[in-house]
Chain A
Amino acid sequence: MSVTSSPEATAATDTSADAPVTTVATLEPVAEAQASAEAAHGDTHTTTAHAEEHASGGLPQFQTEHWAGQMVWLVIIFLVLFVLIAKVFAPRLRKVIDTRGATIAEDLANARAIRDEAEAQAKDAAAETAAAHVAARKLAADAKAKAAAEQAAAQAKEDARLNAVLAESEASIRAKRDEALSHVTEIATDTASALIEKLTGKAPTKTALTAALKKA
């Protein structure tokens, strides 16, 4: 500690380009002083403060003889990196990112178009189904109506046939009854003539029988 603060040491710390060994040597006592843990912080502080006092001491960064070389190299390295980024890396990355964006946008547009198409198709299918339903219902109703009409026609025909048969039968019965009734006088005449002939032994005349029957 005392060594660092002494004027001799500071003079030695004011190094030039060809005396790097001196710098290390002067810094050595500081390091030793720091062996005690409590003193270490204070020492670092002293060294820094010391460096600020004498621009070229303490912190090695203030040794200006190394500045120019570092600066020149930095500019060279920086420019190399700059040119590579500007001409190679950035365009490549921008291209791939833009391509990705375009691809995603395109895929999305395609997907959207396909979805719209599918929706339209679904709508068409629904419309077709509805139309088919209507047609089927109409067909069923038609069939029903036709069947009913056919049945009604058949029924009417059958009714007509039966009515005709009935009328015919009634007519024939009436004719037969009339015919039978017309024979009644004849049978009665015959019967009466036979009865009289049996009783009297002499056949009555026709006129007498007719008159008698007419009285009866």
Chain B
Amino acid sequence: MADPLHQFQIQKVVDLPVIDVAGVPVDLSITNSVLAMLIGVGAVIVFFSLTTARASIIPGRFQVMAEGLFGLIDDLAESIIGHDGRAFFPFVFTLFLFILSCNLVGMTTYFTATSQLAVTAMLAILTIGTVIVVGILRNGLGFFKLFCPSGVPLLILPILIPIEIISFLMRPITLTLRLFGNMVGGHIVMKVFAGFIVALASAGVAGYLGGFVSLTAVVALTALEFLVAYLQAFVFAVLACVYLNDVVNLHHH
């Protein structure tokens, strides 16, 4: 029976040299993880190139899909961040499409790049990094007011400020682990149940019923995983908007 963890094993597809960046060896080889990202993002680029190249006022089916995704994130950014949402739309839309495409490539059983801790961590770092850079560019040192909500009694501040700082520091960690955990958990469970089918069916007639139950479970789980693939991309986009809103509209706090 296949090992349910084997699907997360990084394998080199194209060997490229290892370079040293400040003492850290960076293996630039194209691995299955990198290839999955390239396939997902490549598909996104091809899809959007084709649908927007001859975008017409009366849209075709695929243009409706592209505009649907666009409208979803555009409305999200504007409703959470407000009028400035448009400025951050490309970033949030990129995050959403990147995670969604990687999740969906994972559903085609090739490789799930978003089940790699390095990938989800980097996405979280990019998000929080953008939040910090935007916060400091727009508010200067006023950025640190983020940890000191106005209208709070002085007595509570010594307790509140550490809590705010800790909650801010937890953001990249929760962003990383939420996506990572969802993708890893879902794919392991699918693999395990798929393994049951073979194991039980090969155990003889008595195992057929169990095998059939496992098969049903795998079908149901696959549907659920498609939902999770979309939902996690959406959740990541929503949280990116919420965190950006905190620093963009700091003076409203």
* Contact surface of A with B, Cβ cutoff 8 Å: 17, 20, 23-24, 27-28, 30-32, 34-37, 40-41, 44, 47, 58-63, 65-75, 77-78, 80-82, 84-86, 88-90, 92-97, 99-100, 103
Contacts and interface: CB of A to CB of B under 8 A. Distances in A.
A24 B6 contact: yes
20 contacts: A24-B9, A30-B5, A34-B192, A35-B199, A37-B196, A44-B192, A61-B117, A65-B27, A70-B116, A71-B122, A74-B37, A74-B123, A77-B34, A77-B37, A80-B45, A84-B45, A84-B48, A85-B48, A92-B52, A93-B52
Nearest to B193: A40
Contacts of B55: 92-93, 95-96
B57 A82 contact: no
A20 B123 CA distance: 26
Contacts of B37: 73-74, 77
A78 B98 contact: yes
Contacts of A20: 9, 11
Which of under 10, 10 to 19, 20 to 34, or 35 or more describes the interface residues of B? 35 or more
A48 to B, nearest CB: 9
Binding site of B, secondary structure by majority: helix, strand, loop or mixed?
A: helix
Q: Which 9 A-B pairs have the closest CB atoms?
A: A86-B90, A31-B3, A67-B118, A96-B55, A92-B52, A69-B27, A68-B26, A70-B118, A61-B117
Contacts of A103: 57
B28 A69 contact: yes
Contacts of B230: none
Contact of A69 (B3, B34, B53, B70): B34
Interface of A is mostly: helix
Which of B48, B89, B94, B192 counts the most A-chain CB atoms under 10 A from its CB?
B94
B149 interface: no
Interface in B22-50: 24-31, 33-34, 37-38, 41, 44-45, 48-49
A160 to B, nearest CB: 88
Contacts of B28: 69, 72-73
A63 B10 contact: yes
Given A81-B97, A97-B67, A60 B9 contact: yes
Contact of A81 (B29, B70, B94, B115): B94
A95 B117 CA distance: 38
A70 B199 CA distance: 35
B94 A82 contact: yes
Most chain A beta-carbon neighbours within 10 Å: one of B9, B11, B24: B9
A111 to B, nearest CB: 17
A27 B2 CA distance: 10
A61 B26 contact: no
B9 A23 contact: yes
A34 B119 contact: no
Contact of B195 (A23, A34, A90, A100): A34
B137 to A, nearest CB: 17
B198 to A, nearest CB: 9
A188 B24 CA distance: 180
B130 to A, nearest CB: 10
B108 to A, nearest CB: 18
B196 to A, nearest CB: 5
